[in-house]
Amino acid sequence: MNHQVFGTVGAKFNESGTLVIVKKELAKHISKLENYKGRVLKIEFTFSEQHKLAIISVYNKSGDRGKDCIETRIDINKEIMRMVKDSKKKNQQIILMGDFNLQYRKYLQQKNSNRTRISEQLKIFDLLEKSELFDVCKEILNIDDLALTKNHVTHITKKLGSRIDYIWVSKKIFDEIVQVYIKEYDNKNDTDHKIVFFKVTRDCLLPLSIYNKKKKKKLDKRTKYYYDNIDEETKESIKIKAEYELNERKNKTSMTMMTLHEKIQLYEDVINVTKNSEIEKREIYLTDEKEDTSIKDLDLYRAIRFFVYLRKNFKKKKGIERIKRHWKKNISHVNKILKKWDVDGFYYLRLYNFGKVQVKKYIAELDELYNIFQSKLQIKVSAMKEDKIKQAIEQRQKDLEENQKRMIDNVMDREFRKINIDRVLSTNSKENNFDLKTDDTIIERFKVEGGPTTVRSMISKDTYANNFKFLQNNNIRYIDQIISLSKRYLLTIKELEDRKYIKLNLKGKLSANINNYEQIRRELTISPHTYKLKEHIVKQIDGVDKVENLRGVEIIPVIANTRKDVPIIIEFNIGGNLQALFGRTRKVLPGGLLIAMHMIPITTIEDKDLILEKCQGCNITTWLDIPEAMFSSQERCRIPCIIMTDVKNASTFSRNKWQRGINQYNILGQEKIIFPGMSGQIIQENFIYDRILKQQPYLYKSTYSKIHELMLKSKNSFLDSVLGQFLKTGNYQPMTNRMQLCKNRLTTAKGGKLKIYIDGSVKFNRTENIEAIFGLMIYDEDNKLLDTIMSTVEDWITVNKTEALAFLASLLITPKNKEVTIYTDSQTNYDNFMAIKQRPHRNNLRDILKFGSSNYIWAIIKEIISHQELDVKVVKIKAHAEDVLHNILDKEIKERYADIQGVNKLEVIPTCAEYRYVLRWNETIIETNIRRFIRLITRTKGLEKFLNLNRNDKYRMLEIDWHVTFEYLNVNEEFETYFKTNAHSSKQKRMKVQRLIEEMPTIEQMKKSSYDLYYDLPCPCCNKKEETFDHVWTCRYNRKYMKNLIIETIDKRVSKEKLAQTIGIEILNFIFTKVNSETRDFIF
């Protein structure tokens, strides 16, 4: 047995006990074992000083009621947290797993219910999260415990179940997790729990020295026979001896009683005995592949190793001193390498003056040189591999031509082998000791347009591996090959059989390697009955055009199968809306007229088993238009609802089956048919999309077309460089692809003129819930809508930014061969464009940085206008006015706010040739006017310094309108100018500041500087209290003056009539009675 068991098992049901099974190779490294009451088991592993691991296995007390039960669980939780803290101190990686018998759902409910206290037994979840441990299942499987599904339940009950089994790991382990799933136990009678499984890379837990040990293999051997040394006499002798040996064996056994296998074995034994005795032979041992040292002899490899040596030394103090001592020698060697391999450019490594402050730049340059020479080495190695493969093939061919037997027994040394394959499935290519190389030219030549989302990226590794043969054999690579055209449903096996790229057997069915297709269904859909895709799946794949092509669906017209009772689908226009009706063919007349019986589905249109029955009569169809001689009265009674239309408006369900449907033994009753594994929704979608593409052919885009090759573009296409250089990819890839598709469509559109309406919208402005959408609608010269693009803004949202991004997007999709008019309601867009267009050389980067906002976007726009030969005209229109097309765009943008999460994001990389070094503040791009920003920063710093003074501590607690306050302080007199002042104005401002900081020359304030003069003086007005700042305004002898002052101030702001209606002397008295010298809320 290769494993060792640790732990204990209780003798009774629901008793304590927990087990951990460890490989013996790893058990050697156990440094400590802890067991607490048989319910918690901790195993500490010490593999090296840097690799330490603690596994804590838990089986907490079960049961929901009882004081003893709750106290036991609390006690176990405290012990678990003690072990976790101990492992943290020892710098150990932690895996905490087991049956907690606590529901995370209840913890969330208490946490979100505004309760100040969480139940004592549930506090462990809060403590684990604060200890930076991660719930593997919750984070990886995206489990919502408040809306738990059956797949995420770990404890099975009569109801839905609960999640009480957990695996918590530290951050380093969490970052290296490969796979997580929850699986039902095969024998459900043994336990009511599921198996919680997770897989992690070994590198983060074990050092290489442990799991990289290779076992010694026994050398294989084989026998080589020298057939070339046999002459004719020897051949005759071998033949005679073989016949004699065969006859001898026949005499010993009865050939009539032998089976065919025994006879074959007899002949093989005779041949082997004769060969071993008569033909010269030699045993050959097959050794393991020797390391190919030819690469290490290359100058490129030595150059790379030299760069690695320098980089390694630069990262250590002693290494830096070592390099500094031999700096000129090293730099001379670097210059020779770069000169030999034609690597140009400025590098600090080529300077003979060593700078210690430049160490980081040296390391960055070595990384760059390493990448350059690594690519050169890969090209060289590929050429060497091809040469060796060619030599091996020539040698094999030579062996085959001279002697077939020699070729069979030839033992060729293992060499480089290059295999061209279209797809690879590898769990760990490094461990399997092979490299994968891709040829970008081949990938570009065979690239499939319009399918950016692959099946591999949407499903788990295990599911992909299990379905790999099925996907490969049927040429399925992209997710839209196995989903409906509306991108809302997954196709069944029966529906896939109608796709052109699927390989069928002789019976027209898909039967090979389909057993694991259910795994794909479980991961992508929410229902086994409708195959409807999960919401997050739809959002991820809905970034490209909704209508592009039929994705391999073949629409068979009725004229190809005119037999009676063939199930068909018919185009019917009801009130201007295109609808698809089901029916069965009755007659096809020579003039192209189709007469069919109307059928209606009795199942839900989404169900994967479509059942149709004849319609009993509706307002869609009538018998009035059918001649009486065409159908007998008996047929008219049997068909209550008839459809008559052009044969071009109908098609059959499928190209290879479902011609009559299935109703075996009439189990569904008469006039009913069933189509197992197919839904009416998919059939209708295929038909309606086909009609749309026929009516609007400009929407069509073939999957395998090469539209980008037909475009007129130079070798250095500026548009492609813009999309690659200025638009972010990754999470923003769908929007980039969407714009490229739109560009292709506009390039091939008919006509020479285009109209582009742009607009931007911001919702909840100046709040934390701010949202923004900008959109474009492109029309041809006949005002026919060609395309629509909608996008959102993610960071630092402003109205001007959304308008600028919309303007930039319109320029990016503008083709060179069209006259384009851009309509905008933004005066800023119009003014900035005209400034750049009319004075392109006078508006330099300095002028663009003075733009009010989004200056880096306008820098990119200026570069596009300067380098791209675009025929663009901008028209300023009035917002929300009489322009119908612009109002349509504005309405469409507002409607998109309801589903803003489904709108793709466009983000610009803020660099271009003219604006290479973007101004940032705290890693944030400065998008506003640079001078205004500097003035704002200066004022903010001044205010911060002002508030941090001890005397202004009170103002930090109050809500003060500082804008109004500073306007009051800086108000200028009539005779003052912006750059001039006088003594009177300076005195007035000084007094305002004194009132602000409460340092007026009161007696109490003067005591601080001249205490001996003022130490016993009271207030000069009342002669009773100390004259403080607050007392000045609340002194009884000053009340009359204060009332008059307030009234005069109000008189200046409002009319006397309004004052009499709104305020009186009683209110002023009330104000004074409420003023307290201790409160500081009253500000003057």
The structural domain count of the chain equals 7
- Residues 564, 532 share a domain: no
Q: Is residue 711 in a domain?
A: no
Higher pLDDT, 984 or 913: 984
CA distance 553 to 690: 9
- pLDDT tens for 935-966 read 888 888 888 888 888 878 777 777 788 778 87
Higher pLDDT, 146 or 1084: 146
Q: Is residue 992 in a domain?
A: no
The DSSP annotation for 179-210 comes to: EEEEE--S-TTT-SBPEEEEEE-GGGTS-HHH
Q: How large a percentage of the chain has pLDDT more than 90?
A: 5
Q: In the prediction, which pLDDT does 698 show?
A: 46
The band of 1065, judged by pLDDT with boundaries at 50, 70 and 90, is very low
- Residues 122, 186 share a domain: yes
Q: Is residue 475 in a domain?
A: yes
Mean pLDDT of 774-790: 87
Q: Is residue 966 in a domain?
A: no
- Residues 778, 927 share a domain: yes
Q: In the prediction, which pLDDT does 710 show?
A: 32
- Residues 328, 467 share a domain: no
- Residues 888, 756 share a domain: yes
Q: Is residue 733 in a domain?
A: no
Phi, psi of 742 (to 5 degrees): -65, -40
Which of 522, 493, 520 has its CA nearest to residue 509?
Answer: 493
Instruction: Choose the weakest-confidence range: 433-437, 793-797, 928-932, 1054-1058.
Output: 1054-1058
Mean pLDDT of 824-851: 73
The band of 713, judged by pLDDT with boundaries at 50, 70 and 90, is very low
Mean pLDDT of 395-401: 65
For residue 761, list its beta bridge partners: 773
pLDDT at 96 over 90: yes
Who's near 442: CB < 8 A, 6+ residues apart? Answer: none
For residue 483, list its beta bridge partners: 490
Q: Is residue 713 in a domain?
A: no
pTM above 0.75, yes or no: no
- pLDDT tens for 154-189 read 888 766 788 889 999 998 888 788 778 888 877 766
The CATH number linked to 180 is 3.60.10.10
CA distance 757 to 754: 10
- Residues 308, 252 share a domain: no
- Residues 450, 382 share a domain: no
Q: Is residue 497 in a domain?
A: yes
- pLDDT tens for 469-493 read 888 888 888 888 888 877 888 888 8
Q: In the prediction, which pLDDT does 591 show?
A: 72
Mean pLDDT of 113-126: 79
The band of 846, judged by pLDDT with boundaries at 50, 70 and 90, is low
- Residues 651, 567 share a domain: yes
Q: Are 713 and 521 in contact (CB under 8 A)?
A: no
Of 347, 368, 388, the last residue of a domain is 388
Instruction: Choose the weakest-confidence range: 118-122, 224-228, 297-301, 843-847.
Output: 843-847
- Residues 47, 182 share a domain: yes
Of 682, 699, 716, the last residue of a domain is 699
CA distance 798 to 782: 34
Tokens 């601080």 sit on residue: 1008
CA distance 783 to 885: 9
CA distance 392 to 1078: 98
Most confident of 228-232, 330-334, 684-688, 839-843: 330-334
Who's near 350: CB < 8 A, 6+ residues apart? Answer: 331, 334, 335, 338
Q: Is residue 526 in a domain?
A: yes
CA distance 61 to 15: 8
- Residues 129, 89 share a domain: yes
Higher pLDDT, 16 or 681: 681
Q: Residue 268's domain spans which residues? A: 234-279
- Residues 257, 206 share a domain: no
Structural tokens at position 18: 């927990």
Question: Other C-beta atoms within 10 Å of 451: how many?
Answer: 19
Which of 807, 808, 622 has its CA nearest to residue 723?
Answer: 808
- Residues 692, 610 share a domain: yes
Of 483, 508, 541, the last residue of a domain is 541
pLDDT at 90 over 50: yes
Instruction: Choose the weakest-confidence range: 685-689, 925-929, 1052-1056.
Output: 1052-1056
